[in-house]
Structure 1
Amino acid sequence: MSSITIRNLPEETHRALRLRASLAGRSTEAEVRAILEQAARPVGRIQLGSLLAEIGQQAGGFDLNLERDKTPAAPMRFE
């Protein structure tokens, strides 16, 4: 794993990062890592679930009432 050092970080920014990390229930280092990972993701990458949800909202939504099939599945056969 790579590591970086950030110099000359204003105390106010450091304090805000510590608060944000505390609210998220993680360390300041983990919070900074999450922020960097989010910021470094490729732009334009489509999240399929988000795209489908947006299409459904634009279409006015729908009600999907499915009953789960509760019959037991046949056991696997390894012959």
Structure 2
Amino acid sequence: MASMTIRNIDDRLKQRLRIRAATHGRSMEDEARDILKTALAQQETPAGNLAATIRARLQPLGGVELELPAREPIREALDFSAS
């Protein structure tokens, strides 16, 4: 088995770990090992396309048909020349 040393842990974090370990009736090292094992056992979902994710979530709700305004002809460019 490998061992690991973690330095520069915030005092409040260490205190919370100590309390959590005592609550579960084990050492701080055992508690930290269990926290790491639990956190790393969870499957990470890969980042996907944001637009596709939003579409997939909203598609069951139905869509809205929007009325598109008629296109107008292009306007003449403004003349900024001093005459």
TM-score after normalising by structure 2: 0.50
- Structure 2 partner of 1:68: none
- What letter corresponds to residue 11 of structure 2 in structure 1? E
- Structure 2 partner of 1:58: none
Shift of 1:42: 4.4
- Structure 1 partner of 2:32: 32
Unaligned runs of 5+ in 2: 45-83
- Structure 1 partner of 2:14: 14
Correspondence list, 1:1-79, <5 A: 1-43=1-43
Number of aligned residues:
44
Shift of 1:40: 1.1
TM-score after normalising by structure 1: 0.52
Shift of 1:12: 0.6
Structure number with greater Rg is: 2
Q: Percent identity?
A: 43
- CA-to-partner distance for each residue in 1:15-42, whole Å, 9 max, x for gaps? 0000000000111000000000001114
Q: How large is the Cα RMSD of the aligned pairs?
A: 1.3
Unaligned runs of 5+ in 1: 45-79
- What letter corresponds to residue 11 of structure 1 in structure 2? D
- What letter corresponds to residue 32 of structure 1 in structure 2? A
List 4+ stretches of structure 1 deviating above 3 A: none
- What letter corresponds to residue 2 of structure 2 in structure 1? S
